[in-house]
């Protein structure tokens, strides 16, 4: 059935929360964002951020978010509680929990705040890449349900195929945006920070058991820079620094179409190999 202007985007449906009272909400996992075990971690992180945005005491815009995936989320209803821990003149600190049947599965902390004009400089350079319209769409395998919600155009480091060999490094660079296209906001940027498949897949040349344990996002962009991006693809890159003893790190940078660094993400991933 074709979408209309009034149709709710699948991402907005996935992060929708219903208020029980101030700071306490209910939500439901969305089948479109199903992953191997439980929902896609990026949409879970976005849901935690959304709970803060809906809170009547929210102050400013997101500066950072750390999400700890303590246990697998079961498909179905869940509850999110967001609590402002402290509000200062320029920043506001939050604690968030997601639970099911009285058991906490996900915890998070966040910092919101107001940004003011200061001296500015970006030392990191955006990766070299062909324009998105010159890069072919490279979808995830069909069994990765959540991947169908993103248009991905890999510049380097696509997900390994069946006959892939181990790769000498862990770098992936791609153009990515919501599918269908959707104007960028802080919640969708949060989810985009987790669209990278585990870096161990690329190094080993095949999929293996892996899952994010903790994810931290630093939001560099202000509301105007987010709005300016509209629904155009983001240039995203990720790599690891060290693998071993069941864990590896994964660092990502997300750039706007005019080479503005929008966000930096770091995560720790559990794996078996």
| CATH code for the domain in which residue 46 is found | 2.40.160.210
19 domain-assigned: yes
123 domain-assigned: no
258: number of Cβ within 10 Å: 10
Q: What was the pLDDT predicted at 4? A: 47
Distance CA 167, CA 102 (A): 43
Q: What was the pLDDT predicted at 32? A: 97
Lookup: tokens for 137: 């769409």
Q: What was the pLDDT predicted at 139? A: 87
Q: What was the pLDDT predicted at 105? A: 98
Q: Omega before 18 cis (within 30°)? A: no
18 domain-assigned: yes
Angstrom CA distances, 106 to 18, 61, 215, stand at 18, 22, 11
Work out how many domains the chain is built from and give that number. Answer: 1
55 domain-assigned: yes
Q: Give yes or no for a contact between 150 and 176, defined as CB atoms under 8 angstroms apart.
A: yes
Q: What was the pLDDT predicted at 3? A: 47
Angstrom CA distances, 177 to 44, 137, 152, 181, stand at 18, 11, 7, 7
142 domain-assigned: yes
Domain carrying residue 94? 10-115+128-271
Contacts by 142-146, CB closer than 8 A, 24 or more apart: 144/35, 145/31, 145/32, 145/33, 145/34, 145/35, 146/32, 146/33, 146/34, 146/35, 146/39, 146/40, 146/42, 146/43
Q: What was the pLDDT predicted at 5? A: 58
Q: Using only C-alpha atoms, what is the Rg of the chain?
A: 18
| Positions of the chain with pLDDT lower than 50, given as ranges | 1-4
pTM: 0.96
208's CB contacts (< 8 A; 6+ apart) are 198, 200, 201, 271, 272, 273
5 domain-assigned: no
122 domain-assigned: no
Helix, strand, or coil here: 2?
coil
Lookup: tokens for 131: 């324009």
């Amino acid at each position: 059935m074709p979408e209309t202007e009034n149709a709710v985007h699948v991402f907005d449906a996935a992060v929708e929360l219903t208020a029980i009272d101030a700071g306490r909400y209910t939500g439901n996992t969305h089948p479109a964002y199903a992953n191997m075990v439980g929902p896609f971690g990026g949409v879970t992180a976005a849901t935690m951020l959304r709970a803060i945005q809906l809170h009547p005491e929210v102050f400013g815009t997101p500066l950072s978010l750390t999400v700890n995936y303590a246990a697998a989320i079961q498909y179905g209803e869940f509850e999110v509680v967001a609590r402002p821990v402290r509000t200062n003149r320029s920043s506001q600190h939050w604690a968030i929990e997601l639970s099911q049947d009285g058991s906490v599965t996900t915890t998070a902390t966040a910092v919101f705040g107001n940004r003011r004009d200061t001296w500015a400089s970006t030392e990191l350079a955006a990766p070299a890449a062909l324009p998105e319209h010159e890069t072919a769409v490279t979808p995830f395998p069909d069994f990765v349900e959540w991947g169908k919600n993103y248009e991905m155009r890999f510049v380097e480091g696509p997900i390994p195929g069946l006959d892939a060999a181990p790769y000498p490094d862990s770098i992936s660079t791609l153009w990515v945006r919501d599918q269908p296209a959707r104007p960028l906001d802080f919640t969708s940027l949060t989810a985009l920070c987790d669209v990278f498949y585990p870096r161990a897949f690329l190094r080993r040349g095949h999929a293996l058991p892996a899952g994010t344990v903790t994810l931290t996002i630093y939001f560099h962009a202000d509301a105007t820079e987010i709005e300016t991006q509209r629904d155009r693809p983001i240039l995203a890159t990720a790599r690891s620094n060290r693998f071993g003893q069941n864990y590896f790190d994964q660092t990502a940078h997300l750039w706007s179409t005019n080479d503005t660094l929008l966000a930096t993400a770091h995560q720790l991933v559990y794996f078996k190999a």
